Amino acid sequence: MPKDNLNQDNIEISRRKMMGLVVGVINLGLIGAIVGPMVGFAAAPLGNKRKSRWVELMDESRIKPGEVKEVNYSLLVVDGYHEVEQKFTVFLRRSEEDVICIDPACTHLGCRVDYHADQHKFICPCHGGVFDDEGTNKSGPPPKPLERHPVKVEAGKIWISREV
Amino acid sequence: MSQKTYKPKDAPTLSPEVKVDEPREAVSSEERLQIERPSLRDWMDLRLGWYGFVRKNLDEPMPAGVGWWQTLGNLLMTLLVFQFITGFALAMYYSPSPDSAHASVKHLTYEVGLGSFIRGLHSWGSTVIVIAVVLHMLRVFFWGSYKKPRELTWVVGVIIFQVILGFSFTGYLLPWDQKAYWATVVGTRIAATIPVVGHALLVFIRGGEEVGALTLTRFYSFHVMLLPASLILFTFLHLYLVRRHHIAGPVTPAKGAPVPFYPNQLFKDAIVLLFGVGLLIYLAVALPPGLEAIADPTGTDFSPRPEWYFLGLYELLKVMPSGWEVVATVIIPTGITIGMFALPWLDRSKSRHPAKRQWIIMSGFAAILLIGLMTLKGILETPPEHKKSEATLAESNDIPKAEATQLESLGE
Ligand code: HEM
Ligand code: FES
């Protein structure tokens, strides 16, 4: 009889263990069921890819060799749930041979650099990054040159391409 | 007199001297349930158990020597309640979209009655909370109150501290003015300096490649849903732990028996609340919150600056040489945070006395000095007022004028 009793107890214990295990598994499932989709939903923008677009900026004749010019333009871009006319700024620099297009976002942490014509330098107001007039980083924290956008000159017009 | 206030009529009188550490049920609940026709107050108490709860907390023993320094926690709690209420009120007028955020803040500040005051309370509140939290942490640090058995009280406190910084980072963007926009452009870019996963993390935080509509809704959702919910949770956990382990006495025990929280400590708490909340109201009235020009990704004459308590980090970024920015953006802040979490286990000494834990106190001083000096440097270098940015939509041909002042400050 005592032996039997012991068996009963063992069965009881394993039954309890089993049920506890099932509860645990169900709970894990519940957490997964809400956390999984939640993370996927929040991270959805990671899947968006940007496309390059060519934009006509201005007449080639309006910039002289050796000059650096700030150009503002706007583009219709999709910003989340709406399409907006977004403003952009770039710097065009013309040398004897070609035209380059420099993006004003500082390569350190993204502040907008200013061009100082008298010194031929781009200077970042945030942490004092300095770039030469070709966008090469000269001093301060920026780790690499300012980014460039592809440029083409067609029928006397300057076009640049940018990803939006 | 205090005891009368919270005692149902039929409860027998307690002996006047308060015995600590002993839960006191004046009458067993069994007995009290037998009361034939309880008054409304007794009835509420019997159903809710409110009497015991309030009594227990008012009688909480305060070791001799506990005093003004222990009022900061209560001040923080009150300020948090203020933040919740003013935040709730602001959300009635605020609209989280780049089209309307700036206009809605402008409207509620300048056109809605008391708008400037409510917004002032909320924005100055964040500043006063940060100051109070830092003082509270410093007092716990120097008293060594994070030691056994209060390790988790401290750990939960560090989590609360992070949550508060999260609040101010996400809240800063909401007005969608120049300051908000650029601080967020730079602040989020910090994530991108992390090797390998940096870019993905940046896109995740911003809800896209650029700071835009989805950044604003994301930050708003954190600011009004996730962060408040976690703050409430962790604050209750914190208070539960504070009560469970009781307040630690001075590092060298003071003479005298513990006294109940009410009325001595509560009185001190109330005085501090009077001054703390008084200061907050004064700031909200005397220095009403402003609003800069609407966020403009092309605006030139604007130099982005974060909220003042992130200025230390901002200055650190300036002095880091090129290629080392990850040290300032990730390694140092993460190091300090890990150090804070681990403090109760880093500090192995049994004694809470500052003289018995010299290197901990020294590293504390070093960290405080570093952060303090950097922040001070940042504050001193803040230009007084930002010029309004004139945004031109079409192409502009004017070459930006050299800004002599800025160049000077660069030492060029
Ligand atoms: C808004 C946030 C906070 C609230 C509402 C809060 C509230 C309180 C209250 C009411 C007390 C008891 C009275 C006092 O000592 O002032 C306390 C004690 C304590 N707090 Fe906080 N606190 C907060 C943040 C923090 C932070 C950020 C830390 C540390 C990182 C921290 C660590 C502690 C510790 C270790 C104690 C126990 C002190 C002792 O026993 O002597 N708290 N807190
Ligand atoms: S963002 Fe330009 S130097 Fe830091």
Angstrom CA distances, A107 to A111, A126, B178, B409, stand at 8, 11, 20, 21
Query: Considering the entire predicted model, what is its pTM?
Result: 0.85
List, as one string, the DSSP characters of B201-248.
HHHHHHTSSSSSHHHHHHHHHIIIIIHHHHHHHHHHHHHHHHHHH---
Bond from prior residue into B258 cis (ω within 30 degrees of 0) = no
CA distance B112 to B106: 9
Angstrom CA distances, A31 to A20, A28, A34, A36, B147, stand at 17, 5, 6, 8, 34
Residue B84: count of CB within 10 angstroms of its CB? 15
The owner of tokens 């009403």 is B288
Phi and psi dihedrals of A99, rounded to 5? -115, 130
pLDDT tens for each residue of B170-223: 999 999 999 999 999 989 998 888 888 999 999 999 999 989 999 999 999 999
- Least confident piece of the model among A108-112, B98-102, B115-119, B335-339: A108-112
What are the boundaries of each domain within chain B? 29-58, 59-381
Place B26 in a pLDDT band, splitting at 50, 70 and 90: low
CA distance B283 to B276: 11
Question: For residue B280, what pLDDT is reported?
Answer: 97
**For chain A, how big is the Rg over CA atoms in Å?**
31
Query: For ligand 2, is residue A109 a contact (CB within 6 Å)?
Result: yes
Averaged confidence pLDDT in chain A: 88
Place A162 in a pLDDT band, splitting at 50, 70 and 90: confident
Q: Cβ A45–B207 below 8 Å, yes or no?
A: yes
Angstrom CA distances, B60 to B20, B250, B251, B349, stand at 7, 17, 20, 28
Q: Cβ B99–A82 below 8 Å, yes or no?
A: yes
Residues of A in contact with B399 (CB under 8 A): 68-70, 115, 117
Nearest alpha-carbon partner for B248 in B78, B79, B80, B69:
B69
Question: For residue B204, what pLDDT is reported?
Answer: 95
Atom number of ligand 1 nearest to Cα B69: 16
Q: What is the mean pLDDT of residues B252-257?
A: 88
Phi and psi dihedrals of A102, rounded to 5? -110, 130
Classify residue A32 by burial, with Cβ atoms within 10 Å: 0-12, 13-18, 19+: exposed
State in Å: Cα B213 to ligand 2 middle: 24
Question: For residue B337, what pLDDT is reported?
Answer: 94
CA distance A109 to A128: 11
Question: For residue B51, what pLDDT is reported?
Answer: 81
Residues of B in contact with A68 (CB under 8 A): 399
Atom number of ligand 2 nearest to Cα A110: 1
Portion of chain B with pLDDT greater than 90, in percent: 55
Chain B residue with the nearest C-alpha to that of A116: B402
Task: Tell me the three state secondary structure of residue A98.
Answer: coil
Closest approach of A99 to chain B, Cα-based (Å): 16
Checking if the pLDDT of B20 tops 90, the result is no
Q: Cβ A45–B302 below 8 Å, yes or no?
A: no
pLDDT tens for each residue of B154-179: 999 999 999 999 999 999 999 999 99
Query: For ligand 2, is residue A104 a contact (CB within 6 Å)?
Result: no
Question: For residue B201, what pLDDT is reported?
Answer: 94
Chain A residue with the nearest C-alpha to that of B401: A116
Angle at B163 between CA B162 and CA B167, to 5 degrees: 115
Judge whether B165 and B371 are in contact, CB under 8 Å: no
Q: What is the mean pLDDT of residues B336-350?
A: 93
The owner of tokens 């009963």 is A8
Residues of A in contact with B206 (CB under 8 A): 45
Looking at domain A52-163, its CATH superfamily turns out to be: Rieske [2Fe-2S] iron-sulphur domain (2.102.10.10)
Task: Tell me the three state secondary structure of residue A22.
Answer: helix
Atom number of ligand 2 nearest to Cα A141: 3
Question: Which residue's CA is the closest to the ligand 2 atom numbered 1?
Answer: A109
Instruction: Name residues contacting ligand 1 (CB within 6 A).
Output: B 70, 72-74, 76-77, 80, 133, 136-137, 140, 143, 145-146, 150, 153-154, 157-158, 160-161, 235, 238, 242, 247-248
Report which bound ligand comes closest to the CA of A111: 2
Question: For residue B181, what pLDDT is reported?
Answer: 92
| Element spanning A100, H or E | strand A99-102
Checking if the pLDDT of B272 tops 60, the result is yes
Query: For ligand 2, is residue A140 a contact (CB within 6 Å)?
Result: yes
State in Å: Cα A78 to ligand 2 middle: 27
Q: What is the mean pLDDT of residues B299-304?
A: 68
Place B15 in a pLDDT band, splitting at 50, 70 and 90: very low
What are the boundaries of each domain within chain A? 3-44, 52-163
Residue B174: count of CB within 10 angstroms of its CB? 22
Of B99, B200, B395, the CB nearest to A46: B200
Structure tokens at A134: 């070709």
| Element spanning B87, H or E | helix B72-91
Checking if the pLDDT of B75 tops 60, the result is yes
Q: Please check whether the domain covering B59-381 is classified as CATH 3.40.30.10.
A: no
For a pocket test of ligand 1, which of B139, B140, B227 has the largest count of ligand atoms closer than 8 A to its C-beta?
Answer: B140
Q: Cβ A80–B207 below 8 Å, yes or no?
A: yes
pLDDT tens for each residue of B36-55: 788 888 888 888 888 888 88
